[in-house]
Amino acid sequence: MNALASFEALAADKLIDDDANYQWRVARAPTGLPKPEDFRWGVTDIPEPAPGEVLLKTLYLGLAPVMRMYMQGGGAAGEAALHPGDVIHGRGVAQIIKSRHADWHEGDIVQGQIGWQTYKVSAMTPAEKMFRCRNFGLPAMLSCKTLGMTGLSAHAGLFACGEPRAGDKMVLSGAAGGVGSIVSQLAANVAGCDVLGIAGGAKKCSIIRDLGCSAAIDYQADDVAAELATLRPDGIDLYFDNVGGNILSAVLERLAMRARITLCGSISEYAADAPYALTNYTRLRRTDSRMQGFFVYNHLDRWDAVMDELASYIHDGRLRPVQDIEQGFERMPLALAKLYTGGNIGTQLCSVRGEPGEWR
């Protein structure tokens, strides 16, 4: 039985209804890639909101590679560290079905820290980073990722940190992933960059060519360093890094003058025993280049402006949401495992109940 087949088996006998709160909890801290034994299914009563609280009914949940780090008790952005038995952290989209909070109303659609559960009582605190979902004439589903933290990550990493310029010879790793599939389109269709995408497998390389990339490197089949030399003979002006490791090292060997590197993620290292030891970072000095990390929660002050912008790009065709959707809450562990096996394309999410019946 392959890895994903074992996750299919984990989901097979589990169903939800609206009469209980279903949850996925940490069974043990993962070692290596996520395994079915790392997850525990739980069922509790639906909680009742106290004064100053609301009851949220989950519609969609998003998946991200960092969730494995949450399960290990680290990597959380202000959330409490997780231990065996705890509900797994995660952002999603939900509808308020009961409110005892003066500022939040029944029927509101919100996105924020819901966790892997089908209901949640929340005081809507700043720590949960809750936002009212705005109806742009687009599905509420998009607020889970493209019009959510994933979209903000792509926008902040590209524009605030990368400072793209028309004509930039750009390289983008993880180009078929959640952030990458947005960055490629914003860079090509909005900023006017020439984007060289890096992805795993012929299928993904074909897809990213339709998402703004002028060319693609298949890291599973190609010699990445050799392909960079061929496709970027005059150097790289801008690199958006989603993977870290050997690919980041190869890019550092091909920088143009005053190049910019944006560090968004390092999925190649998340399941490794030790961080990658980058030995050639001094290449930055030779070309007066810079390498800058960013943390999406440091850009929350621009939330409304960025969401307006991204929604306008969706409407005018410059941004096409690419979503990999698992149907059913029982498939959350499978959806996370796909991120580590290269099984997903675009933003990964789970439809728990689908679109709301009404949305103001």
Q: Are 240 and 264 in contact (CB under 8 A)?
A: yes
**Is 338's pLDDT higher than 60?**
yes
Instruction: Give the Å distances, CA to CA, from 95 to 132, 301, 349.
Output: 10, 24, 17
Sequence-distant (≥ 6) Cβ neighbours of residue 300 within 8 angstroms: 129, 152
User: Across the chain, what does the average pLDDT equal?
Assistant: 93
Instruction: Identify which of 28-32, 42-46, 75-79 has the greatest average pLDDT.
Output: 42-46
- Strands 91-99 and 109-113, bridge-based pairing: antiparallel
Are the beta carbons of 82 and 116 closer than 8 angstroms?
no
Average pLDDT over residues 51-56: 98
Average pLDDT over residues 168-174: 97
pLDDT at 265 over 90: no
- What SS3 class is residue 159? helix
Q: By mean pLDDT, which of 132-136, 320-324, 355-359 is the weakest?
A: 355-359
Residue 93 pairs in a beta bridge with 60, 111
Q: Token pair for residue 100?
A: 């005892």
Q: Which pLDDT belongs to residue 69?
A: 83
Residue where the block lists tokens 């019946």: 357
Average pLDDT over residues 87-93: 96
What is the mean predicted confidence (pLDDT) over 148-153? 96
> What whole-number distance in Å separates Cα of residue 19 and Cα of residue 39?
22
User: What global pTM score does this model have?
Assistant: 0.92
CB atoms within 10 A of CB 183: 33
Q: What is the pLDDT of residue 1?
A: 44
| Residue 78: pLDDT over 70 | no
Percent of the chain with pLDDT over 70: 96
- Amino acid (1-letter code) at residue 79: E
What does residue 52 show for φ and ψ, rounded to 5 degrees? 85, 10
Complete DSSP assignment for 13-47: T----TTSEEEEEESS---SS--GGGEEEEEEPPP
pLDDT at 337 over 50: yes
pLDDT tier at 275 (50, 70, 90 boundaries)? confident
Q: Sheet harboring 213-218: ordered strands across?
A: 213-218, 194-199, 169-172, 236-241, 255-263, 290-293
Question: Which pLDDT value is given to residue 357?
Answer: 85
Q: CA 77 to CA 293: how far, in whole Å?
A: 15
pLDDT given at position 258: 98
Q: What are phi and psi of 280, to 5 degrees?
A: -120, 30
Give yes or no for residue 72 having a pLDDT over 90.
no
What 3-state DSSP class applies to 168? Answer: coil
% of the chain exceeding 90 in pLDDT? 85
**What are 247's two structure tokens?**
């690919």
